[in-house]
Amino acid sequence: MAAANDILEAVAEVLARLAEELAFAEPGTDTALLPVNALLMDLEQVPAGALPGSLVAALALPRGWIDATLDGSGKFDEATLQRLNVWHGWVLDCLMSESAGLDAPEAPPELTVETAPATPPAVAAPAPPAPVVAAPAVPAPSPAPAPAVVPAAAPEAPSMPAPAAAAAEAAPAAGIATMVLRLPGDLDLLGEFHSESLELLRSIEQAVLTLEESPTAAEAINAIFRAFHTFKGSAGFLQLDALRDFAHELESLLEVVRSGEVKVSRPVIDSILAGADVLAECTREVGLQVGGVNPGQPIPVPSGPVLALVRAALRGEAPPAAAPPVAAVAAAPVETPVAPQATAEASAQAVATPATAAPAAPAPVAAAAPAPKAAAPAQAAADNFVRLDASKLDDLVNLVGELVVAQAFVVESGEVRASANLELAHAVRKLARITRELQHNAMSLRMVPVGGLFRKMTRLVRDLAASQGKQVRLVLKGEDTELDRQLVEKMGDPLIHMIRNSVDHGLETAEQRIAAGKDPTGTIELSAAHRHGGIVLRVSDDGRGLNVERLRAKAIEKKLLDPTVQLDAQAALELVFLPGLSTATAITDISGRGVGMDVVRGHIESLRGHVHIESTPGAGAAFTIRLPLTLALIDGLLVGLGDERYIIPALAVRETFRPKPGGVSTVHEQGEMVAFRGEQLPVIRLGHVLRRPARAVQPEQGIIVVVESGNTVRALLVDEFLGKREIIIKNMGDTFAGQTLVAGGAILGDGSVGLILDVDSVVRAPRMAVPVATTTQMVQA
Amino acid sequence: MTTHSVPAPGRFLTFHLGASYYGVPIREVREVVRLCPITGVPNMPVHIRGVINLRGSVLPVFDLRAKFGMAAVDYDDRGCIVVFDRQQDRPRQAGAIGAIVDGVDDVLVLAQSQLASAPDFAGSVEADYLLGVGTTADRVFSLLHMKNILAADGSVLMPTITPKAAAGGTESQ
């Protein structure tokens, strides 16, 4: 009974929280409505076999009232609140009796009428408790989702028709409904709805991925079901009726899957995804309108086709609606042994108890049991997280960044260094250490694993492979690697594009692969790792590699390349980044959309990252992206030029050195070159590019900073190297929008502004054929 | 094109460039700061002087004298930077820009009777830059249409760097 006691405790805790919420609820307002709804949903997750059926039914009792409230005015009415309070007291009594091993107390008279439809014998009637419930004006929601009750009762009523499946048949074939947002009145609520929905959609997607791995993972089915249910509640609350109805239909249809009557199959998964896609589309539209794009425009909810798909999927697996679900029950035992292994460890115990105690118990009970139990700890864990506005987090990180700079100013100031005061020195050291720790902590708040981003790609690869009839396996590595949330968000599009590219152009069809002596299934590997204080993302495939000849021909054909120019292998590969160049011979809906790898590179460089290509004909291609760990604070090299100081992002720097006298040679019509690790690098004098005076006339009077931009390596000549700094990049505003040489400003330790060089622009700036003799007499503007 | 409307009465911040006196509606002014070291930004038009550190933010600064085609001077300790909110509806620092002036004088309340539309001749200041003219007992103020002046600055495009221009880059800008 240990497991049951755990559950009783969990239920008691939820009830305690419910009491708190109910204390806030007031008739005629929506205060506490959503929290109450959520807590009730938790209660409905109680494993059917773990508690007596009567108690489970009691816990699920208010569902109808809340649904009626959500579907109706969206506000508590007096009667509902009173009923909720009476119910709460009674359920607490039931719980105490249960733990004391006593019989449950009689339901108070206010509740008894409603209890009837929810108790096991009456379960066959999927009718909602609506007739008794207040708000008679509200049309009864067709199939009442009394989720916890149905699976519990199923074995006892083997001849009962599958309720949700029946509902599916009965449901009208809705076409495309529309909804209109109440803006600006509901602006805040809609904003919350939008972010909440995004989260729900993510959890649906993740659950679907789990389902694909193990179709019996009841936990995943439950998660999807819950997500649809929450969608319904929130949409109803905001009177987005079309969306609510759609989510409601999805939820009802999935009920049969949840209860184990229909097995999870490919068509079922596809239909769930299709449903989620419609919700995602609506969510996106809500987000746009909240953001001020076409507010008030009706939003179409194209539910009809999707629901038809869902019904077809369910029918494909399910027995005809009128037939007893015996077949489905018979199918269930096959899956049952798998379920405990597939679910979390925590659930194993719970499964064992009912299964061993009642070996004769019909399978569905055992199959249904592990899921809610697993969901409960997950819920508890989720409670330890705080959701907060991302901009607050950004502000904090920025402030901490300021603190780091200010702290460095104090620590490095001459006076502090020269001070003989030991106490001061001690305090300063302590300040430095605490600041460093604070910085580390603040940064870690914004760090998220790339796994979430990677898993989105799983879906993409699946869809792409299916639509192109290719066999593709996606291998993920280093999913736990953490990087700045902002970067994760911004890397989504480039990754999607690169993966599309790989599937579309890189990987061959199964026949072609077999003909080439390869595994018919192509592999795309997506990996992440920390390196050199930054992060390296890599997308590689074992396809045919980039076709350099075709790239070149295409570039010439599109007049992007002079046919007389000879390119080395690397430069030829880089042609793929030319704007307006696409190597797909046939326009597909996937890659041939005009945006190309040039957009990808631009995007990555805007994040101060770099992308590098490798390709082996016949064996595959790889794109390696190097990114800073965070956008907030970067390591920079402070260099001097004339009287000015500039910052070069450390990620773009390979090395610095002072050239030997004579180490820089002037090659005819090529400008200055310097030997670096056995290679001749073109020298760029920073002063020339910026048109600013430099002190170093001879190269050996200055310092060479070896910088790289993409695959291009250059020797940048500056006057002096002033050290390494952690700096915060400040936007300089649109006055300098046309200024490409400078990526931003940073406040230096002495309070002046230092300019951060955009290495990519500096490297690409035209180089003078002959260095100008002296620049010292230049007048500063 | 000049709109020959009379500016609305109200408070104006007045400042001078040499012997010319100017005013701007006070609601467009965020603050006035002392002239401080300016970090020059390469390859910008000559009137864009660079950026300063305004309490932790990077603020672009332009030279009003240069903008009006007046001779450059060495600013003395009366030199100030008037910080304008370029677009009021934009958050915080995003749209702010500073203008260097010789000195800030006063905040004046100008009544309807003291205001007139801009004359057709506008001296060295382009007519689009003027809101109108304000008159007090001892002075005439050119009231500036900062929005027009600043709008032109927001979209300044870089002179494209051609190899030739770069080679000739030793001349001062």
**pLDDT by residue (tens digit) across A2-17?**
446 777 877 887 887 7
Nearest chain B alpha carbon to A780: B172
Helix axis angle, A266-290 to A187-213, nearest 10°: 160
User: Do residues A612 and A661 both lie within one domain?
Assistant: no
User: Do residues A125 and A186 both lie within one domain?
Assistant: no
Cβ(A483)–Cβ(A627) under 8 Å? yes
Total tally of structural domains belonging to chain A? 5
User: Do residues A252 and A330 both lie within one domain?
Assistant: yes
Q: Provide the CB-side half-sphere exposure for B140 (13 A, CA).
A: 8
Query: Which residues in chain B have Cβ-Cβ distances shorter than 8 Å to A779?
Result: 172
Would residue A344 count as lying in a domain?
no
Total Cβ atoms within 10 A of residue A298 = 13
Cβ(A369)–Cβ(A351) under 8 Å? yes
Q: Comparing B152 with B32, which gets the higher pLDDT?
A: B32
Helix axis angle, A266-290 to A241-258, nearest 10°: 160
**Phi, psi torsion values for A156, nearest 5 degrees:** -80, -15
- Tell whether the model's pLDDT for residue A445 goes beyond 90: no
**Phi, psi torsion values for A671, nearest 5 degrees:** 85, -165
Alpha helix ranges (H) inside A260-413: 266-290, 303-317, 326-335, 338-342, 345-357, 363-368, 370-382, 390-412
Would residue A414 count as lying in a domain?
yes
Using a CB–CB cut-off of 8 Å, the residues of B that contact A are: 37, 39-44, 46, 48, 50-53, 56-60, 62, 93-97, 153-158, 161-163, 166-167, 169-170, 172-173
Which tokens go with B140? Answer: 């005439």
Contact criterion met (CB < 8 Å) for B172 and A780: yes
Q: Which of A299-313, A677-691, B127-141 has the lowest mean pLDDT?
A: A299-313
pLDDT digits (tens, 9 = 90+) for A353-401: 333 333 443 433 333 333 344 444 444 455 577 777 878 887 887 788 7
Contact criterion met (CB < 8 Å) for B42 and A688: no
What's the CATH fold of domain B10-167?
OB fold (Dihydrolipoamide Acetyltransferase, E2P) (2.40.50)
> Rounded to the nearest 5 degrees, what angle is found at the Cα of B111, between the Cα atoms of B105 and B117?
90
* Å between A752 CA and nearest CA of chain B: 6
Q: What percent of chain A has pLDDT over 70?
A: 77
- Tell whether the model's pLDDT for residue B169 goes beyond 80: no
How much is the pLDDT for A172?
43
User: Which residue in the set B42, B95, B157 is minimally distant from A692, CB to CB?
Assistant: B42
User: Do residues A184 and A105 both lie within one domain?
Assistant: no
Would residue A297 count as lying in a domain?
yes
* Å between A742 CA and nearest CA of chain B: 8
Q: Which of A313-317, A325-329, A400-404 has the lowest mean pLDDT?
A: A325-329
Contact criterion met (CB < 8 Å) for B58 and A731: yes
Cβ(A402)–Cβ(A435) under 8 Å? no
- Tell whether the model's pLDDT for residue A88 goes beyond 60: yes
Which tokens go with A416? Answer: 């502090």
What kind and span of H or E run contains B116?
Answer: strand B115-116
- Tell whether the model's pLDDT for residue A151 goes beyond 70: no
Query: Which residues in chain B have Cβ-Cβ distances shorter than 8 Å to A753?
Result: 39, 50-53, 58
- Tell whether the model's pLDDT for residue A724 goes beyond 90: no
- Tell whether the model's pLDDT for residue A443 goes beyond 60: yes
Complex-level ipTM beyond the 0.90 threshold: no
User: Do residues A534 and A678 both lie within one domain?
Assistant: no
Would residue A259 count as lying in a domain?
yes
Would residue A750 count as lying in a domain?
yes
User: Which residue in the set B93, B95, B158 is minimally distant from A738, CB to CB?
Assistant: B158
How much is the pLDDT for A205?
83
Q: What is the mean pLDDT of residues A651-678?
A: 84
- Give the Cα separation of B94 and A733 in Å (integer): 6
pLDDT digits (tens, 9 = 90+) for B85-114: 765 544 444 568 899 999 999 899 999 999
Q: Please, what is the average pLDDT of chain A?
A: 73
Cβ(A601)–Cβ(A576) under 8 Å? no
Pick the closest to residue A329 from A215, A168, A169, A158 (CA basis).
Answer: A158
Query: Which residues in chain A have Cβ-Cβ distances shorter than 8 Å to B166?
Result: 688-689, 691, 765-766, 768
Contact criterion met (CB < 8 Å) for A730 and B161: no
User: Do residues A147 and A171 both lie within one domain?
Assistant: no
Alpha helix ranges (H) inside A123-170: 149-153, 163-170
User: Do residues A702 and A720 both lie within one domain?
Assistant: yes
Query: Which residues in chain A have Cβ-Cβ distances shorter than 8 Å to B52?
Result: 753
Using a CB–CB cut-off of 8 Å, the residues of A that contact B are: 402, 644, 688-692, 730-742, 744-745, 747, 751-755, 765-770, 772, 775, 777-781
Confidence band, pLDDT 50/70/90 cuts, at residue A113: low
User: Do residues A689 and A760 both lie within one domain?
Assistant: yes
Q: Which of A183-187, A288-292, A323-327, B54-58 has the lowest mean pLDDT?
A: A323-327
User: Do residues A437 and A568 both lie within one domain?
Assistant: no
Which tokens go with A597? Answer: 């790898």
Give whole-number Cα distances, A133 to A67, A80, A84, A111, A144, in Å: 10, 8, 12, 10, 13
Confidence band, pLDDT 50/70/90 cuts, at residue A532: low
Identify any residues that bridge with A525 across adjacent strands, giving them in sequence order: A475, A540
pLDDT digits (tens, 9 = 90+) for A627-650: 877 666 678 899 999 888 999 988
What are the extents of the domains in chain B? 10-167
Confidence band, pLDDT 50/70/90 cuts, at residue B170: very low
Q: Which of A214-228, A250-264, A745-759, B146-160 has the lowest mean pLDDT?
A: B146-160
- Give the Cα separation of B122 and B135 in Å (integer): 15
Contact criterion met (CB < 8 Å) for A732 and B60: yes
Contact criterion met (CB < 8 Å) for A768 and B95: no
What kind and span of H or E run contains A458?
Answer: helix A451-468
- Tell whether the model's pLDDT for residue A717 goes beyond 90: yes
Cβ(A252)–Cβ(A174) under 8 Å? no
User: Do residues A135 and A207 both lie within one domain?
Assistant: no
Structural domain boundaries, residue A19: 1-157
Letter for the amino acid at A281? Answer: E
* Å between A238 CA and nearest CA of chain B: 29
Letter for the amino acid at A485? Answer: R
Would residue A382 count as lying in a domain?
no
**Beta pairing, strands B80-85 & B96-101:** antiparallel
How much is the pLDDT for B52?
92
- Give the Cα separation of A273 and A275 in Å (integer): 5
Cβ(A152)–Cβ(A48) under 8 Å? yes
Contact criterion met (CB < 8 Å) for A779 and B154: no
User: Do residues A598 and A642 both lie within one domain?
Assistant: no
- Tell whether the model's pLDDT for residue A175 goes beyond 80: no
User: Do residues A60 and A134 both lie within one domain?
Assistant: yes
How much is the pLDDT for A562?
81
